[in-house]
């Protein structure tokens, strides 16, 4: 009898404890759900899996209906994009992404027949992005930051390497067997997944706007640096910096006729090699003056007003997150992505730090926004001509990418496009579409003419979009999509990067705008 009573009491207590536990789990799950994080119980997780399977089957059924309708519609029917289905591809079994009409980068990257790249080739692409012309502004960052500027070059390398890895982690999810499967293809897909289901397209729009701003600002910087370099190479010519920028833009007008980047890509290797040669020449000249290095000028103080601009310059020199999802998706061995990111950013950190420090020690307080302007006139003319050639040949890459994003967003987004398609039925670019491309080239010229300040523009871009795409959004997306799987130190890193990146972004943006206003008001030269 006593045993029966004890068993009943034990069962009641167990049931009560289970009820309390379930209620507490429900409250916690509800709290995190309101915050937007994934915090489901095991039963809820199984329900999510079932719902996901049903949703996937439903979308596949819709896709089959679309295909049947297209076949019944005959040859006159237009292609219906399968953009929504690309978000649900599972290990490549989903429908292939639709090809763009201009045969651009998106169709090439999405093609299953495209040859895969090795880790070394992927590392070369990342190196091209983070070791480009914009390292010429790093000595100017040391001018206003001293040793703290050097520390930021190292810190930015570590953070950008980490955020690149967690951004790629957001492309994957575990299937029912516990294996990681790539279910997203791009930065935009990640952003849309974070804002779903309430605002399924909001994240993609935010990323697209930031991407367009960064790409267009990169084009503007190429025109600015071309005018600056030519003006300082031939100071005795009766041609102003603004006039040189106009001449450079005339040479860039053929970019409006680009349909793909195959012709331009042939010069990318030569441009990169030429840039490394130029860096070596600058460092060699600086080493020849090692006896006169001003070590006493490198201090631990910072210029409170201009140092936030330096932060933007350093961050902008490391931006590569935009194309990392496509790059990782085209690697032969995606498992080597982390190793590739490690050695590319370590190499970039060492080379950038040495270049910035050696150049600043050589010219100290005389360091200019573009470091090659400090070279003697004879060497400066030769080096600057090579740099101008590299800038002009590099311009089509961000320009074409910006055009592709604009066309896809506003002209080729199926029934959701804001304007009619800028391509004809035969795939040729319409006259008004060509006019819009020319207008974009002219816009970059006008910005370069009226705001000819390389370092300030670079700092503004790095603070506005660079910090957002490299620091803020990756950490936020990582927390949102993988919250239940993160360890405490990963959560700490993500939150710390978001907070520090937000502070640096706001302060850098404010001081860059103030610097531009001051330069425009008092007509300050570079």
**Residue 72: per-residue pLDDT:** 47
Span 328-348, average pLDDT: 92
* Structural contact between residues 201 and 409, judged by C-beta atoms closer than 8 angstroms: no
Count CB atoms within 10 A of the CB of residue 485: 11
Element (H, E) at 306: none
* 121-414+430-522 is classed CATH 1.20.1740.10: yes
Mention every residue, 6+ apart, whose C-beta is less than 8 A from residue 209: none
Reported as a pLDDT band with limits 50, 70 and 90, residue 179 is confident
- What three-state secondary structure class fits 429? strand
Q: What confidence tens digit (pLDDT) does each residue in 439-495 have? A: 899 999 998 888 887 777 888 888 888 889 999 999 999 999 999 889 999 999 999
Mention every residue, 6+ apart, whose C-beta is less than 8 A from residue 442: 249
Reported as a pLDDT band with limits 50, 70 and 90, residue 391 is confident
Q: What confidence tens digit (pLDDT) does each residue in 209-238 have? A: 888 888 898 899 889 989 988 988 888 888
For 445-448, which contacts have Cβ atoms below 8 Å and span 24 or more sequence positions?
445/223, 445/245, 445/246, 445/249, 447/220, 447/223, 448/220, 448/223, 448/224, 448/227, 448/242, 448/245, 448/249
Q: Report domain extents, the chain.
A: 121-414+430-522
Region of poorest pLDDT, from 28-37, 120-129, 206-215, 395-404 = 28-37
Q: What confidence tens digit (pLDDT) does each residue in 144-173 have? A: 888 888 999 999 999 999 999 999 999 999
Report the Cα–Cα distance between both ends of the chain, in Å, rounded: 95
Tokens of 215: 């790409």
**Residue 520: per-residue pLDDT:** 74
Q: Is 302 left (phi over 0), alpha (psi -120 to 50) or beta?
A: beta
Is pLDDT above 70 for 427? no
How far is the C-alpha of 454 from the C-alpha of 269, rounded, in Å? 25
Tokens of 415: 């029934």
User: Which residue's entry shows tokens 């409250």?
Assistant: 27
């Amino acid at each position: 009898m006593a045993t029966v009573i004890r068993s009943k009491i034990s069962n009641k207590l167990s049931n009560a404890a289970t009820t309390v536990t379930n209620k507490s789990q429900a409250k916690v799950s509800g709290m995190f759900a309101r915050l937007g994080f994934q915090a489901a119980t095991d039963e809820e997780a199984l329900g999510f899996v079932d719902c996901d399977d049903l949703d996937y089957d439903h979308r596949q059924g819709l896709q089959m209906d679309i295909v049947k309708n297209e076949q019944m519609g005959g040859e006159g029917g237009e292609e219906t994009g399968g953009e929504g289905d690309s978000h649900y591809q599972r290990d490549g079994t989903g429908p292939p992404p639709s090809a763009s009409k201009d045969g651009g980068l998106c169709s090439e990257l999405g093609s299953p027949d495209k040859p895969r790249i090795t880790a070394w080739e992927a590392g070369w692409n990342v190196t091209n992005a983070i070791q480009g012309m914009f390292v010429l502004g790093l000595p100017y960052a040391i001018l206003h930051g001293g040793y703290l500027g050097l520390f930021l070059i190292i810190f930015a390398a570590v953070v950008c390497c980490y955020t690149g890895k967690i951004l790629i982690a957001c492309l994957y999810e575990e299937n029912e067997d516990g294996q990681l499967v790539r279910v997203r293809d791009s930065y935009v897909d990640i952003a849309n997944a974070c804002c779903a289901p309430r605002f399924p397209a909001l994240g993609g729009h935010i990323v697209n706007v930031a991407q367009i701003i960064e790409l267009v600002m990169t084009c503007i910087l190429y025109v600015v640096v071309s005018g600056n370099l030519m003006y300082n190479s031939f100071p005795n010519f009766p041609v102003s910096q603004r006039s040189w920028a106009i001449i450079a833009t005339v040479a860039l007008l053929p970019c409006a006729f680009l349909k793909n980047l195959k012709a331009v890509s042939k010069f990318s290797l030569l441009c990169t090699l030429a840039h490394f040669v130029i860096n070596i020449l600058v460092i060699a000249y600086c080493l020849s003056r090692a006896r006169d290095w001003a070590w006493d000028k490198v201090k631990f103080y910072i210029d409170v007003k201009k140092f936030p601009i330096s932060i933007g310059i350093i961050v902008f020199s490391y931006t590569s997150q935009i194309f990392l999802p496509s790059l990782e998706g085209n690697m032969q061995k995606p498992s080597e992505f982390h190793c590739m990111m490690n050695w590319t950013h370590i190499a970039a950190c060492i080379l950038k730090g040495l270049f910035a420090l050696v150049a600043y020690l050589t010219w100290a307080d005389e360091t200019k926004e573009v470091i090659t302007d400090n070279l003697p006139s004879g060497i400066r003319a030769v080096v600057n001509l090579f740099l101008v050639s590299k800038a002009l040949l590099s311009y089509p890459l961000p320009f074409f990418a910006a055009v592709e994003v604009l066309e896809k967003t506003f002209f080729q987004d199926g029934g959701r496009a804001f304007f009619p398609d800028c391509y004809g039925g035969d795939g040729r670019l319409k006259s008004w579409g060509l006019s819009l491309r020319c207008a974009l080239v002219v816009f970059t010229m006008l910005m370069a003419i009226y705001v000819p300040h390389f370092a300030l523009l670079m700092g503004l871009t790095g603070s506005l979009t660079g910090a957002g795409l490299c620091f803020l959004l990756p950490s936020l997306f990582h927390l949102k999509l993988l919250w239940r799987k993160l360890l405490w130190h990963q959560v700490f890193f993500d939150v710390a990067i978001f907070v520090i990146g937000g502070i640096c972004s706001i302060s850098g943006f404010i001081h860059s705008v103030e610097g531009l206003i001051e330069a425009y008001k008092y007509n300050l030269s570079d």
